[in-house]
Amino acid sequence: MVLLFWVTGFFAARLLEYAPHASLWFPPAAISFAALIVYGARIVPSIAIACILGTILVDLVDSKGTALSQLLTLGGTFALTHVGSNLLVALPMRRLAIHAKSATSLAKVSLFLLGSAVATGIGAGLGVLTLFLGGEVDVQGIGELLSAWWIGDFVALLALAPFMMLVFVKIGHMISIGIPEGISGLLVMQRDTETRSQGKLALMLGMTALILFVASQTDYTELVLFLLFIPLLIQLWIVHTENAWVSVMGVAAFALITAVATAALPLESEVLFLKFLVISLAASSYLGLAVPTLYSDNTRLRSLLTHDVLTGAMNRAFFEDFAQGDLVRVEREGGSAVLIMIDLDDLKSINDAHGHAEGDQALADLVAACEAELSGSDRIGRLSGDEFAIYLPGQNVQQAAERVEAIKRRLSSASSRGAAGQISASFGWVQRTPEHADFEVLLAAADQAMYSEKRQKQA
């Protein structure tokens, strides 16, 4: 299957050739790159055979009559440079895809964008060197051919490789080829497109085709081509409102329409501009797909800095900052607030009798019971190992007492978890007053009230 895709892409590149050895884009670069990521090094023989076969078929189509031994040498050299340059980046990216947690991340996208430029640059350099040594190009033509080859490969790889990765994952599952879980995760991007998604794609591609056609029929080509920023905006709209499969299809289709229009319409003078336009659209689209993962990572890091990992309650520093800040507001605006101190009963006994895992579960269960009774701007924080505090802005002691009773009922009615059985806690609460305006003073008073209840239990 890879062989068929590759040869088809090879002849498609021939149709888009605008100078000897220079095509508007080179789809086999994307096909090889995608196949190496999805299937790994086991696909190398198929790609190598495709390179040799493509070399022979082109010679037959052009009726050059080159000797078979020479064709095999040229094809083998091409296979070596083509496969080698793609392996350089595809295999490290494959390892990253296998071990990374998310299907699309900033690290993956950055490696893909930068690595693609490196891989295609090396491939173009080696290819041009081979042609030079074979007498196919002179010294004066090396620079122009190198830039055309490099950019053409780079555009094709950026535009088509993600699309082909999804296709190859789907094929791999259909024919039961073993694909690592991290690579298979790409399949989640292949969701059915809704009518709305199809409409957005049609709008973007229709606008692109119309602008390219009008640009080719007017003397104000550059001015009309400037309007291509509109399809770019529509594509970004797609990236941030639709699934990744739709976004990848948009990039591939935009690149295809641009390449075909450049070859079919009198737009040869704008080739470089249109290639960079495709690169810009592809890069911005893939980076856009990585934004949700980046936001998720930032949210997780922020949570680790402000919350207790075990229970999910605020850590002491963050809780105290929150409570102190709100107490300043209460003093300025008037109103009330209550601080409740909580201590899990017999945590040491639970740890000694059932192990620290059960003790950790008891702490988490206590916080879960408290959070179930919190609302609005109420907050709970973990002050030390088994001590917690709840801050209730706008509440009074009566409301705090009702809240504590609700938590106790929840704890006593909850099904026991593990060997530790039912858990209980001691509570103490104090309402903010002019005498207890400072947070530390309020905390100390609530702590005393909590230990008073604990002593009554032990009496």
Catalytic residue positions? 386
Name the helix (H) or strand (E) containing 217.
none
CB-based contacts of 422, cutoff 8 Å, min separation 6: 411, 412, 414, 416
- Coil/strand/helix, residue 343: strand
Is 168 in contact with 39 (CB distance < 8 Å)?
yes
- Which residues are within 8 A (CB) of 231 and not within 5 positions of it... i.e. 6 or more apart? 204, 205, 207, 208, 211, 254, 281
282 Cβ contact partners less than 8 Å away, ≥ 6 residues apart = 158, 159, 251, 255
> Across-strand partners of 382?
388
Q: What is the 3-state secondary structure (H, E, C) of 254-280?
A: HHHHHHHHHHHCCCHHHHHHHHHHHHH
DSSP 8-class letter at 136: S
Query: What is the rounded CA–CA span in Å between residue 280 and residue 260?
Result: 18
Q: Token pair of 2, please?
A: 């890879």
Q: What stretch of H or E contains 104?
A: none
Distance between CA atoms of residues 47 and 456, nearest Å: 79
Q: What CA–CA distance (Å, rounded) separates 340 from 429? A: 4
